[in-house]
């Protein structure tokens, strides 16, 4: 049974990327039709230019989203989805901890903004790092389930 889920929503990122790819492919097909009125042709050219930049922008955002990752906690295991799909049963997890990825001072509010990553250590010596919004909650859940 799923206990907790946090991280990037891949469905939204892939939806934006697929819409921009579809526009980038379909607009040249419409532009190749010979009987297009001139105002519609000009509008389609502008939309094609915009869709090209959207394709690049959403492609970069999708790579960033995949790199940040997603974590799903179940009763008997933890799933980590990044570039690879990793499933760790609770008996393979040795410890969990928080690591600060960066500390930046906001120029507008003059407050410190921190990016936190959850680190999961296994009994085999591997470390998995996932950037999540609320790592303290995941640590509390994980430490209550880890068999020491």
Q: pLDDT (tens digit, 9 = 90+) per residue, 70-111?
A: 888 898 899 988 888 899 998 898 989 988 887 788 888 888
Q: Give the architecture-level CATH label for domain 73-145.
A: Roll (2.30)
Domain residue spans in the chain?
A: 2-67, 73-145
Hey, what are 133's tokens?
């919004």
Residues comprising the chain, all counted:
148
Q: Please tell me the pTM assigned to this model.
A: 0.67
Q: pLDDT (tens digit, 9 = 90+) per residue, 9-36?
A: 778 778 888 888 888 888 888 777 777 7
Q: Assess contact for 69 and 7: CB atoms under 8 A.
A: yes
Q: pLDDT (tens digit, 9 = 90+) per residue, 38-62?
A: 888 888 888 888 888 888 888 888 8
């Amino acid at each position: 049974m799923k206990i907790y889920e946090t991280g990037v929503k891949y469905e939204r990122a892939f939806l934006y990327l697929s819409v921009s790819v579809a526009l980038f492919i379909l607009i040249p097909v419409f532009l190749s039709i010979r009987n297009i009125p001139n105002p519609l042709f000009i509008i389609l050219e502008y939309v094609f230019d915009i869709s090209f930049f959207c394709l690049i922008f959403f492609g970069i955002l999708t790579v960033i989203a995949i790199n940040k990752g997603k974590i799903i906690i179940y009763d008997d295991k933890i799933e980590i989805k990044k570039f690879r799909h990793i499933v760790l049963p609770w008996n393979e997890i040795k410890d969990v901890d928080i690591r600060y990825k960066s500390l930046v001072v906001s120029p507008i509010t003059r407050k410190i903004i921190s990016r936190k990553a959850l680190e999961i250590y296994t009994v085999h010596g591997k470390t998995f790092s996932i950037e999540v919004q609320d790592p303290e909650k995941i640590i509390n859940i994980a430490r209550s389930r880890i068999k020491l």
